[in-house]
Structure 1
């Protein structure tokens, strides 16, 4: 029997949530995806005077351990929401939190569109190479300065300058300001961009702001998200850690690689299958494994974790971060250590305690400085220096 079209459909009532954080009161109204809320995110309190709360994604591989295939499934879902269009597509992942997410969405889109031209870039908080850069600001971030490098290769530059669609990927959208800043900068490089698509796990801009994206961006703009709603936050009168999370020095060499997306990639990264095969022969199937990315270096570690998972191991992936978060709510444990990029700022690992995993595999793009050795000893971990996707060196810890 066909449904009657003259009967009004019942209105879908939003889901209301209220969380009293140590830093203030967070009220959330969910319009879409409420059934997936617990599987997709939790709530935490940030030691940040600009924004005292955090939506902790459980499928991002940053602050919460997640199965690799679960992450790859999310990448495919977000890639499927990118509108069809003509011409090359540029995917830009927002550092540091969504670098792995963006690269995964890009690669999922490539798999679904064989033969189509696309370019991946990530924003970064490090200067690499000597080529031109775009600087823009993520105002609410604990480390607000971000950079987008011009691709170094001529084919990649051509893709950027002839692309018709920009896909900006982040874990969460709240105001859209950072997306707008970056889009305007990209339009100065390539006025031929005809569409922008925002791909996020959670869209908290609200329905009115989401529907008004096209007018605000000045070109057709769409949103793809697994959760949708809006929030209100009333800060409490409590002290926060105002320690800097960014010490930018244009002349400093931080060891950030040019091989994994900062200067543009027009193909998927290769998974380290030989390394995974060797490790799988050394690890018992019942043992728990954590594959840990470091800072902005996330996607290669996810590919290693997925390769181990395909070989039957019990694997979770996660990453260290520069974001200071209180141990409350979705963050039950915090480790602090010096950063491996040599900025002299604290870095953190959340929801991981020493001894929780039988094997911890730390993947890094930077040289193995003393901070990394100390971190590995604290976790009884092994260090793997990714010089390139095909050249991975295990660094002795002891």
Structure 2
């Protein structure tokens, strides 16, 4: 049944009308997103997810279960069979109860008959895609796109994204032979607006995978118009493939007015900060020895983590990596006190901090730095009321942001970085956090270990 039109305020004289056409689990809009203005001429608004753990802090189980719900929708689409866990997941997401118990039951919960490649889109959906993949026990591979440039590694594919603040995506894999065994390909993003990015990547992938005839696209929100949906029906015929779309909510929107972005926005701190201490992890982690080149030309020679899925993981590799993440979780749990804790991931590095956060007990939240420049103001009822700006900790030269950290009185804040390019930049970020939070701040770098190498 179609829901009535909703009008949501973004800023004074700037609103959005939302017409929901498909909502099988009867979520309220606020269960899944809030609205904000974005400092971007291509698109001046943003659906700020309340379930992704990106711009707003959430319990780590929330994005993990959101991925599991999408996995269940895909499984039901393939098999035509209901999945017993569905009501418990939906209830947990709506009410915020039983999150840990429900999530603990979802690892490897579903089976796949055909070898399936899951691809998560950077930067916002890297963890969402990983959470979808985590729900399948075998016959699954996962990789996420990246905006990082690895000069010593030829990308498997490159494609462009519409509406994004940074548009070029790349996929790197060392396991091209295993990659090519895929019989189905599933793309995961948090939101579809026009579907043009999906067209770009499928057009690229179908040339690399001529034997794959079945594609699926999973998203939390699908805003494609009827005309845009017809475009995909025509492409299916032209390309001789099927493209199935599955989303938690589908609908259409129309923005009205023009945002007045008059509030001053925080600038990057450039002054020298006090030296920081990196908390070394006690668990050795499997690594990939590749360097990257940031947008300002600086080279980061620190290794990547295998566990992120950036270079592709099979189900067996993934569950092996999770054992190491549990060990890191046990180490960090010993640092917790009585208050709430926040785990902060960086950019594309979202799933590993999120999974570790899920092992830290109750009253733990997770969010991530982002390159998305959301407008911040203290306007009553507005979504983003606080904003920190600093240089990217892993790719210096790219401005990153962190939002609404003061939303809870955190006792501990764990800043988790996959690859530190420059410790002075990390120190500046820590100083920015200290300026707004009284939490004990721990910086965890995944390539700094206590154990002998």
- Number of positions where the alignment pairs a residue of Structure 1 with one of Structure 2: 364
What per-residue deviation string (whole Å, max 9, x for no partner) do you get for residues 85-134 of structure 1?
753111111111111111111111x2xxx3x3221111111123633212
Is 1:319 the counterpart of 2:363? The answer is no
Counterpart mapping for 1:49-64 below 5 A: 49-64=41-56
1:207 Cα deviation after fit: 5.0
Distance (whole Å) between structure 1 residues aligned to residue 303 and residue 195 of structure 2: 27
Distance (whole Å) between structure 1 residues aligned to residue 210 and residue 357 of structure 2: 39
Pairing partner for 2:329 from 265, 268, 276: 276
Distance (whole Å) between structure 1 residues aligned to residue 11 and residue 152 of structure 2: 44
Distance (whole Å) between structure 1 residues aligned to residue 387 and residue 430 of structure 2: 15
CA RMSD of aligned residues (A): 2.8
Q: Secondary structure in 1 aligned to 2:374?
A: coil
What per-residue deviation string (whole Å, max 9, x for no partner) do you get for residues 310-331 of structure 1?
xxx3100100001100115221
What per-residue deviation string (whole Å, max 9, x for no partner) do you get for residues 120-173 of structure 1?
111111123633212211121111122122x213xxx22321312111111101
Distance (whole Å) between structure 2 residues aligned to residue 392 and residue 26 of structure 1: 49
1:341 Cα deviation after fit: 2.4
Counterpart mapping for 1:365-380 below 5 A: 365-367=418-420, 369-380=423-434
1:254 Cα deviation after fit: 6.9
Change in Cα spacing, 1:59 to 1:354, as seen in structure 2 (3 Å) is: closer
Q: What residue is the counterpart of 1:94 in the other structure?
A: 121
Q: What residue is the counterpart of 2:82 in the other structure?
A: none
Q: What residue is the counterpart of 2:167 in the other structure?
A: 144
Q: What residue is the counterpart of 2:73 in the other structure?
A: 81
What per-residue deviation string (whole Å, max 9, x for no partner) do you get for residues 203-256 of structure 1?
111455446634334421112211111112346275799xxxx97478844757
Distance (whole Å) between structure 2 residues aligned to residue 349 and residue 130 of structure 1: 31
Distance (whole Å) between structure 1 residues aligned to residue 67 and residue 259 of structure 2: 39
Counterpart mapping for 1:218-237 below 5 A: 218=239, 219-234=241-256, 236=258
1:174 Cα deviation after fit: 0.5
Distance (whole Å) between structure 2 residues aligned to residue 314 and residue 323 of structure 1: 27
Moved more, 225-234 or 175-184: 225-234
Q: Secondary structure in 1 aligned to 2:397?
A: coil
Q: Secondary structure in 2 aligned to 1:162?
A: coil
Q: Secondary structure in 2 aligned to 1:106?
A: helix
1:180 Cα deviation after fit: 1.1
Q: What residue is the counterpart of 1:67 in the other structure?
A: 59
Q: What residue is the counterpart of 2:32 in the other structure?
A: 40
